[in-house]
Structure 1
């Protein structure tokens, strides 16, 4: 009985309170609506104000960041022809009044560096001083701009024959400038005759980055052309029809040797080719007149171009037919004396003749 009475009392209390609330609302509904809509208006205004401030701050932050990397800065650069305005951003550097876009391929970068060297020499600098001046400015740009520094070290790693690691921007810049001066093949006239006749298939293979097939095609081209150049009475032409040796390179027209080299340089961005191998060979002390007691030079060469690993010559199956292979790694097939199941046995007499003729 007590429980029923308690529930009834609570029920009646709720009913009374509800009636009072309804009566109060009906009597004061105008004021209540005014308060409700006032609060709602304040909330909406506050939300809009917050969104406006947030957007303004985001825009300000974007401008601050882009002022470093993205917003073009107009500068006046003095040249012989007078002043001109050039837009400089994070992808461009200025060296001796010349603007260079660092997003270009290295052959284009190298060409612009060589043109700068020529310009400085015309102003009275020696070639070495011109290289040093350009390297100094290039290093300074790298210190100021992280993106330039990254590119600089990438160029050094990819195209310099010096494999010594260093974090010195000036030293790396010197290596890059030195590599750039070796890029004389980038002139467009160099490739006017190399995509016809014997070279068409090689051009297609290299363009498609089919390095292994291109290596074989290179050996075939040189054999076919040189075999026709051998005298009728030559032992290598009459009897040793399947034998490839330095005699084939000796009679191979320089024009053909250079055209093949240019194709390798072109499609590897200067990483592969006979002239790359020549540069490494001569830097290590070799030459076209190297005597046959140069085993130490041969081993050093093999180590640098990736034909040797851990103190021994690699197997043919371990040759690196990728774009990331060491500089000078390819071509190699025309110099191999060994079977493809054996460790590489290099005919360095062929390399020496190439070095003397390229």
Structure 2
């Protein structure tokens, strides 16, 4: 697995943070890596244009595998994708409706007592439920369209 992508994204810092169990810092670095791979930090543009469905394949696989390996299969976008589908989500990139999104949020520990957990109150100890991390979606204001767009990616 290359640690530098065709777009010049360097994943060594992400790898090192994950190996050290620095989950929150790794989540923040994941967002930065994704922005570099997309060439923008304007998440409203990314969402409106459904750019996450076209996220560079090699970059997505690299990020996912770094998370999966560091967590022994507990975390990663591919883990989240399996949970999303079990919750009834379809892999078409479209908003699945509140019921499915809320169920997914509950399953990965992002919703508690019918409310989204604030970023600062999430479990950063590395002992969270499967699929709990990464949660870069929080930066996007619990972007309801981001979850299905990214998890519907054909190469995840």
Q: CA deviation at 1:195?
A: 6.8
List gaps (5 residues or longer) in structure 2: none
Assess if the C-alpha contact under 8 Å between 1:222 and 1:248 holds in 2: no
Give the drift of 1:263: 0.2
Structure 2 partner of 1:305: 108
- 1:353 maps to 149
**1:324: which partner in 2?**
127
More helix by share: 1
CA offsets per residue over residues 178-209 of structure 1, 9 Å max, x none? xxxxxxxxxxxxxx323785111000000000
Q: Distance in 1 between matches of 2:72 and 2:96?
A: 34
Preserved CA contact (<8 Å) 2:89 2:96 = no
Partner of 1:294: 97
Over the residues paired in the alignment, what is the CA RMSD in angstroms? 2.0
Tell me which residue corresponds to 2:139.
336
CA deviation after TM superposition for structure 1 residue 335, in Å: 4.9
More strand per residue: 1 or 2?
1
8 Å CA contact retained: 1:215, 1:332 = yes
User: Where in structure 2 are the equivalents of 1:195-234 lying within 5 Å?
Assistant: 198-227=10-39
Normalization by structure 2: what TM-score?
Answer: 0.85
Alpha-carbon distance in 2 for matches of 1:337, 1:202: 20
Q: How does 1:52-91 map to 2 (within 5 A)?
A: none
SS of aligned partner of 1:277 = helix
- The answer to whether the 8 A contact 2:110-2:122 is kept is yes
Distance 1:225 1:278 in 2: 20
Tell me if structure 2 keeps the 8 A contact 1:287–1:355.
no
Name the SS of the counterpart of 2:147 in structure 1: helix
User: Counterpart in 2 of 1:243?
Assistant: 42
Shift of 1:293: 5.5
1:262 Cα deviation after fit: 0.1
> Which is greater in Rg?
1
TM-score normalised by structure 1 residue count:
0.39
